């Protein structure tokens, strides 16, 4: 409905300007043009939109808001293009203008959407700057944990929404493939499992993680080991061929494991790990020094942070170079920001860079964002955004663990979701006395199981901690993936029964609606474009989830109370059109969350 909202806004603006030409000219001059303050109606009984601008204008115009509202409404009444969109406006309370769209305008919008594969979502102008989504980003040879899974799922959904809007998106996997962990690991492996350093697939990622833990324990307790590990890091950094080969092998090993998970979840990522930025680290330090930002603090090179008001901040400084000359996680992130905003070919030429990590890294990002801004690396209009999320907890509210107390392996977590789904499905088929073959059962269980894991993660407000519960995410009722997938099957089935599912099927023109449940569904359907734009701006996928859940509920009320498939009913065609558009909208919406839909369940 954004298209209509834009049109209304220009009519309102025109009315304001013609009613108060002097004030309008003065406001434009001052760079703050008059604003009709058009927004969605605060209650359905007020219509579709309301314009609250009269209240803010009362003071500058020295008029009662109601008088201003009356003047605006009078001008609108003389505007035939406005009259074609809206019923006569009503003034409510102190001076709110309530606007109700004409039924035929809403119906025509539904008709337009049925023929539009983008479902009313306008694309951005082509040729725009890329948006970077930095997500997933596990660490080589370390556990890929549920936090990384959350990042992977949320980041992918955000990337899909941005791509659907037409932005070129760089899906970057900023894997932790560099740093002191490799010194320890290589030193340890040389002694206990040398084959891991020269043979591919000699160990799997699980073993590597165990080796890494042992190496870390030795590093913390054994001084000789520490020294050798440090030397190993130096060798690696100076490009020693043997060290490089070992490193490469370890990275490949982890990469293959990560890739299995991405393939399974249908997630595309371009790996650009920390090591990519090694050649740019010196330049970062040089830039910061030239900008006068570097301070030496007990041998380390730091940037001290400023509070919002420009005074010295209490938070610890960003350490750019350690006293031993080594660089940090923060230095790499600074190099990454610099590179991502830099114009091609020296960089990505991005204008928006989004980081999806747990909320625990909020102060890290706040620090590096500030340093980047003060270093002058962020171009006009450039946006850096941290998209934080809460912890994944077990049902006991503590950190998610397996029953035996170990950290949960992601593969096993997904396997369990699929297995439980299969058990549920077999039970349901037995109850319904349905016969289905193994392929069907496998496909449904896999799709629903993985969808449940994704949806459970996406549907909670990502900022809050989230309690992982198989029972809840796999429930067939409530705001869950199984419920929504089932709704799609059912609604698409209704459309199919009515012959309204095929691609080029003709719907009545104009569509005609009369019942309140029809109008409720029409209005809910037409919100889709606004919801997508909101997710694009606010980066909250749970908004899309709530919308889809609500849509399926509004549909249920409609279908319960209005006959759809009754032959010879003159309303049949228009009602089937609503079924079809509901199914399409649910499919598209779930698709943007990374969830494929099923034909049958
Ligand atoms: N590897 C990091 C971790 O596991 C996440 C990296 C996030 N991205 C970034 N540019 N810092 O916590």
| pLDDT tens by residue, 528-554 | 999 999 999 999 999 999 999 999 999
Can you give the CATH number for the domain in which 53 is found? 3.30.1360.70
Distance 520 CA to ligand 1 centre (A): 44
Question: Any idea which of 106-110, 127-131, 308-312, 442-446 has the lowest mean pLDDT?
Answer: 308-312
Same domain for 7 and 97, yes or no, is yes
Calculate the average pLDDT of the chain.
94
As a whole number, mean pLDDT of residues 350-378 equals 97
| pLDDT value at residue 288 | 98
| pLDDT value at residue 584 | 97
In a domain, 95, yes or no: yes
pLDDT exceeds 70 at position 52? yes
- The proportion of the chain whose per-residue pLDDT surpasses 90, expressed as a percent, equals 83
| pLDDT value at residue 39 | 94
Question: Any idea which of 107-121, 144-158, 393-407, 535-549 has the lowest mean pLDDT?
Answer: 393-407
As a whole number, mean pLDDT of residues 449-455 equals 98
Model-level pTM? Answer: 0.95
As a whole number, mean pLDDT of residues 163-182 equals 95
In a domain, 285, yes or no: no
| pLDDT value at residue 450 | 98
In a domain, 36, yes or no: yes
Ligand 1 pocket test target in 135, 136, 137 with most atoms within 8 Å of CB:
137
In a domain, 370, yes or no: no
Please spell the DSSP secondary structure of 163-213, one letter per residue: HHTT--EEEEE--B--SHHHHHHHHHHHHH-GGGGTSTTSS-HHHHHHHHH
Q: For residue 209, what are the domain limits?
A: 181-271
Pick from 101, 116, 144: which residue ends a domain? Answer: 101
Instruction: Answer whether 139 contacts ligand 1 (Cβ < 6 A).
Output: yes
As a whole number, mean pLDDT of residues 419-444 equals 96
Residue located nearest, by CA, to atom 7 of ligand 1: 137
Pick from 213, 239, 271: which residue ends a domain? Answer: 271
Backbone angles phi, psi at 225, to 5 degrees: -60, -40
pLDDT in tens, 287-337: 999 999 999 999 999 999 999 998 999 999 999 999 988 899 999 999 999
| pLDDT value at residue 404 | 76
Backbone angles phi, psi at 526, to 5 degrees: -75, -5
| pLDDT value at residue 205 | 67
CB count within 10 Å of CB 183 equals 24
Atom of ligand 1 nearest to the CA of 176: 1
Q: How far is CA 357 from CA 274, 362, 487, in A?
A: 15, 8, 32
In a domain, 495, yes or no: no
In a domain, 235, yes or no: yes
| pLDDT value at residue 303 | 97
Domain tally for the chain? 2
CB count within 10 Å of CB 298 equals 6
| pLDDT value at residue 271 | 97
In a domain, 597, yes or no: no
- What number of residues does the chain have? 601
Longest dimension (CA), the chain: 88
Pick from 50, 70, 101: which residue ends a domain? Answer: 101
Distance 149 CA to ligand 1 centre (A): 12
In a domain, 260, yes or no: yes
As a whole number, mean pLDDT of residues 582-593 equals 98
């Amino acid at each position: 409905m954004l298209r209509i909202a834009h049109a209304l806004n220009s009519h309102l603006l025109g009315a304001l300007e013609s009613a108060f030409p002097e004030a309008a000219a003065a406001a434009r001059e001052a760079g703050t043009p008059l604003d009709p303050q058009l927004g969605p109606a605060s209650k359905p009984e007020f219509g579709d939109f309301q314009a609250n601008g009269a209240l803010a204008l009362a003071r500058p115009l020295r008029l009662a808001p109601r008088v201003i509202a009356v003047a605006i409404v009078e001008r609108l009444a003389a505007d035939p293009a406005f009259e074609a969109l809206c019923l006569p406006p009503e003034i409510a309370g102190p001076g709110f203008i309530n606007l109700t769209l004409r039924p035929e305008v809403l119906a025509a919008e539904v008709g337009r959407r049925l023929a539009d594969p983008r479902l009313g979502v306008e694309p951005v102008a082509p040729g725009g700057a890329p948006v970077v989504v930095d997500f997933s980003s596990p660490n080589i040879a370390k556990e890929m944990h549920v936090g990384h899974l959350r990042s992977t799922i949320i980041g992918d959904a955000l990337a899909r929404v941005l791509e659907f809007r037409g932005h070129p998106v760089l899906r970057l996997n900023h894997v932790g493939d560099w740093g002191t962990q490799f010194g320890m690991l290589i030193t340890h492996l040389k002694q206990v499992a040398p084959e891991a350093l020269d043979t591919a697939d000699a160990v799997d990622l699980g073993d590597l993680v165990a080796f890494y833990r042992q190496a870390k324990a030795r590093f913390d307790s054994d001084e000789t080991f520490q020294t050798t590990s440090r030397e190993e890091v130096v060798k690696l950094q100076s490009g020693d061929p043997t060290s490089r080969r070992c490193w490469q092998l370890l990275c490949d090993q982890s990469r293959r494991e990560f890739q299995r998970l991405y393939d399974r979840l249908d997630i595309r990522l371009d790996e650009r790990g920390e090591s990519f930025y090694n050649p740019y680290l010196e330049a970062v330090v040089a830039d910061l020094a030239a900008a006068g930002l570097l301070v030496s603090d007990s041998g380390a090179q730091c940037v001290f942070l400023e509070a919002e008001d420009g005074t010295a901040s209490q938070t610890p400084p960003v350490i750019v170079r350690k006293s031993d000359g080594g660089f940090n996680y923060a230095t790499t992130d600074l190099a990454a920001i610099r590179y991502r905003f830099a114009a091609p070919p020296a960089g990505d030429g991005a204008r928006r860079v989004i980081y999806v990590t747990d909320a625990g890294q909020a102060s890290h990002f706040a620090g590096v964002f500030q340093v980047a801004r003060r270093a002058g690396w962020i171009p006009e209009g450039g946006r850096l955004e941290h998209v934080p999320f809460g912890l994944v907890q077990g049902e006991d509210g503590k950190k998610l663990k397996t029953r035996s107390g170990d950290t949960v392996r992601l593969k096993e977590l997904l396997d369990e979701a699929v297995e439980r789904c299969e058990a549920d499905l077999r039970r349901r088929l037995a109850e319904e006395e349905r016969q289905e073959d193994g392929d069907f059962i496998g496909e449904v269980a896999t799709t629903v199981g993985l969808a449940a894991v994704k949806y459970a993660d996406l549907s909670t407000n990502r900022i809050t901690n989230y309690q992982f519960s198989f029972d809840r995410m796999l429930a067939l009722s409530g705001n869950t993936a199984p419920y929504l997938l089932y709704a799609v099957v059912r609604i698409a089935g209704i459309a199919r029964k009515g012959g309204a599912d095929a691609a080029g099927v003709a719907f009545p023109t104009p569509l005609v609606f009369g019942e309140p449940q029809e109008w409720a569904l029409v209005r809910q359907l037409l919100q889709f474009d606004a919801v997508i734009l909101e997710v694009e701006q606010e980066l909250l996928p749970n908004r899309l989830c709530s919308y889809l859940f609500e849509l399926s509920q509004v549909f249920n009320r409609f279908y319960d109370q209005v006959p759809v498939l009754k032959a010879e009913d003159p309303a049949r065609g228009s009602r089937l059109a609503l079924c079809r558009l509901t199914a399409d909208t649910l499919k598209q919406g779930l698709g943007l969350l990374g969830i494929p839909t099923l034909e049958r369940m």
